[in-house]
Structure 1
């Protein structure tokens, strides 16, 4: 029977893992690498660029639901008279999109689209998700250096900007566990909607922008029919609280996306897959066109 490794081996291993995590995390919070401001700079470039032919400038901020629904190619087929860009992040809450609000305050777009998921609290696991992304990128970079395999080359731009040039990648859920996982996700959403307070700091900022003449669109990105039915009561209560904090009016509009009854249009019951995005695109283009016509 093989003997267990000495205790010091476990200790050295734990220290090595901790050191690797620290090396990966350090650039994220160091003064020389500011992911928050990478996003804000991208927002600034869009808002600072001279308007061409009097186009309406529409900026969207959202969760990964907006990323999945609006693939990068949509920016190339926006309706005439519209300049459209969106920035997204994983999970609920503003997270690293928050510094973009300061840019928006100084250089407001004509229309600001806010995915309603951003008005929910930030998820506790967002930092770990970001660290996991960094670890994967660092691992790919090391493998690329060792093997020279071009397929392992990591992207050169900051990972949070990937949503601007890459389509959303659907999670793979085995068919025999799909319904169970979707219902598990729906149960978690029920708790989120039931327990979450509205982000009043954000609603107050949006209210001030509306008072300055910026049109605010609060976009509800609906999930699959099964998830929407399961979460309907809790979600409606939360939406009622949101509308009390940020009442609809001349410059504040609430907009809900369609619920698609077709099967297999969502990766996981929440995010649209490529087929779902193809159905969403003409609907969203029509909404942008209507916003332009209402100017």
Structure 2
């Protein structure tokens, strides 16, 4: 029968684990860490920068659907008279985009684009997601240093939180024979999201206050592929009806719906656009922004 490890081994192990957790937690709660606020800081920089030549300042907040549909290369599309920036997060609900609202209330853009999915309840635990992210970053950095790859230090969280501003969304290729199956599975998951009938009333109230101050609010419904939209139609329309009741259209509050594309090869999974889909969307989106500018 194997003997139990000496007590000191358990003590050393506990101290090691505590040390690792302390190192992971230190950047999060240290006084020199920026408040998350990387995103809020980025929003602050955009809104504080002086407008050039009277350009219309348009800020977008959205989920991964907006990230996939508007990669950084969109900025290369001709949009004269418009300063455009967007911040996104992986799933529905405001999550860690919340701090940006305080910045927006202090220094609002001319137009605030908010993807409808953000008005759903948060779909995950933001704090746990951030802790998992910190753990992965710390672990990778330790591995790089142990293996001698000193130059391969994992970027700080400020970069990770803003990765959508620097890189396009990754789209994993799905074999054509599996595409329909994957798309329908994704549709079922999306429908579950709309089963929750709640609307973020705190957010609708904040948007109402911004509208009363003269900020133009555009609620953007980013439509998925035709196959997914058909699958989720009933539940989604019921939720959108409740959203319009909570945030009625008005002179300063508008609803905008993107085109529905039947081609499945424009999407990674039936929801997130690939490069071809984003290119097609960019033409429509640039025209919408120009129209918003002309209507000012």
Judge same fold: TM > 0.5, yes or no.
yes
Q: Pairwise CA RMSD of aligned residues?
A: 2.8
CA distance in 2, matches of 1:152, 1:293: 47
- The aligned counterpart of 2:229 is 228
- The aligned counterpart of 1:89 is 89
Call closer, same or farther: CA 1:35–1:222 in 2, change over 3 Å.
Answer: farther
| 1:259-287 CA-partner distances (Å, limit 9, x unpaired) | 11112221222111111111111111011
- The aligned counterpart of 1:193 is 194
- The aligned counterpart of 1:110 is 110
Call closer, same or farther: CA 1:16–1:208 in 2, change over 3 Å.
Answer: same
CA distance in 2, matches of 1:264, 1:21: 44
- The aligned counterpart of 1:48 is 48
CA distance in 2, matches of 1:88, 1:105: 18
- The aligned counterpart of 2:280 is 279
Conserved 8 A contact 1:90-1:126: no
Deviates more, 1:132-141 or 1:221-230: 132-141
Deviates more, 1:175-184 or 1:276-285: 175-184
- The aligned counterpart of 2:70 is 70
Conserved 8 A contact 1:78-1:84: no
Deviates more, 1:67-76 or 1:170-179: 170-179
CA distance in 2, matches of 1:273, 1:35: 33
| 1:163-187 CA-partner distances (Å, limit 9, x unpaired) | 1111111246566654444323322
CA distance in 1, matches of 2:41, 2:94: 16
Q: Secondary structure at the match of 1:158?
A: helix
Q: Secondary structure at the match of 1:80?
A: coil
| 1:231-269 CA-partner distances (Å, limit 9, x unpaired) | 000000000000011111211111111111112221222
CA distance in 2, matches of 1:105, 1:169: 32
Q: Secondary structure at the match of 1:86?
A: strand
CA displacement at 1:5 relative to structure 2: 9.5
Establish whether residue 246 from structure 1 lines up as the match of residue 247 from structure 2.
yes
CA displacement at 1:112 relative to structure 2: 0.2
- The aligned counterpart of 2:119 is 119
- The aligned counterpart of 1:259 is 260
TM-score, normalised via structure 2 length: 0.87
Conserved 8 A contact 1:64-1:89: yes
Q: Secondary structure at the match of 2:60?
A: strand
Conserved 8 A contact 2:74-2:282: yes
- The aligned counterpart of 2:145 is 145
Call closer, same or farther: CA 1:266–1:93 in 2, change over 3 Å.
Answer: same
CA distance in 1, matches of 2:262, 2:151: 38
CA distance in 2, matches of 1:273, 1:14: 46
5+ residue gaps in structure 2?
none
Conserved 8 A contact 1:193-1:234: yes
Q: Secondary structure at the match of 1:264?
A: helix
- The aligned counterpart of 1:183 is 184
5+ residue gaps in structure 1?
none
CA distance in 2, matches of 1:4, 1:174: 51
